[in-house]
Amino acid sequence: MIAYRAMLDVPRELVQHVARLLRAERRAVGTRSGTRALTCFYQALLVLVWFRKGEDKTTLGAGFGVSRATAYRYVAEAVRVLAAQAPTLHEALARVAGEGWSHVILDGKLFDTDRVAETTMSVKGETIDAWYSGKHRDFGANIQAVMRPDGLPIWTSEAMPGHLHDLTCAQQLDVTGALYWAASELHLPALADSGYEGAGQGIHTPYKQPADGRRLAVDNRTYNAVLRSMRCRGERGFAILTGRWRSLRHSTASPRRTGDTVRAALHLTHFEYRYLPESC
């Protein structure tokens, strides 16, 4: 194996921030000094290389002088620690409302994973692959996210099986309930695409084209145009995450862990955008 020098385009402050979180975790679990192969700083650096470049963990471990198993364990530990820093949905909504934003944007995305053998029963009573999305024709985990009007993601959900529709995921995760609360108590409505049609009060979706082929009324077309112009910035949310953190583009781990990985990347994104709460 040949070694070579490389650069990592993340600020040193981010490495130090992750190292501080890992140091606190080691103290919490009672890790004795000198018993780990890497210091907190170099573990943080290893983890950020994985997030930023999506490196194979065997190669990544070799580059840091640790075994494949240790590299996997270090990444899993850091993902758990970082994911725990992400805000709850109610906290995120209350903060956005307090900052004076007029609305939030709800969207969902299928995060690509390896093929999974788990099966489930469809609404038609047929046996189907639980993590296969017919819409995307691929295996993956459905992640729901809420974005500010400028596109910055403020919250991401647990992973849901890829065969489920966005509205079903939002309902089962009680995202819709939190958004009802935000609309009524915080005067913070949510905008969403047609996949959330019927979500309920406070979640605005476009009018669909009539099934009989008639054109929408002028008022409805105008409403859709305004909604589309306000919602389009929300498309940046997932692009910010997957564009910056390449490990999110494809996962070889259990798809149920995808939610933690995305939340960990969300915390890293909030650090780079200086959007962490003061307690951090």
**Structure confidence by residue, pLDDT tens digits, 50-96:** 999 999 999 999 999 999 999 999 999 999 999 999 999 999 999 99
**Residue 199 contacts by C-beta under 8 Å, 6 or more apart in sequence?**
167, 170, 171, 176, 179, 192, 205
| pLDDT number for residue 72 | 95
| pLDDT number for residue 27 | 94
Nearest to 89, CA basis, from 106, 101, 76, 102: 106
| pLDDT number for residue 279 | 61
User: What percent of the residues of the chain are helix, what percent strand, and what percent coil, each to the nearest 5?
Assistant: 50, 15, 40
| pLDDT number for residue 200 | 87
Q: Using one digit for the tens of pLDDT, what is the confidence trace for 190-205?
A: 999 999 998 888 999 9
**Residue 211 contacts by C-beta under 8 Å, 6 or more apart in sequence?**
none
| pLDDT number for residue 280 | 58
DSSP count for the chain of H helices, then E strands? 10, 9
**Given phi > 0 = left and psi -120 to 50 = alpha, else beta, which region is 164?**
beta
| pLDDT number for residue 17 | 97
- Segments of the chain with pLDDT less than 50: none
In what helix (H) or strand (E) does residue 21 lie, and over which residues does it extend? helix 12-29
The pTM (predicted TM-score) of the whole model is 0.93
Q: How do beta strands 203-204 and 190-191 pair?
A: parallel
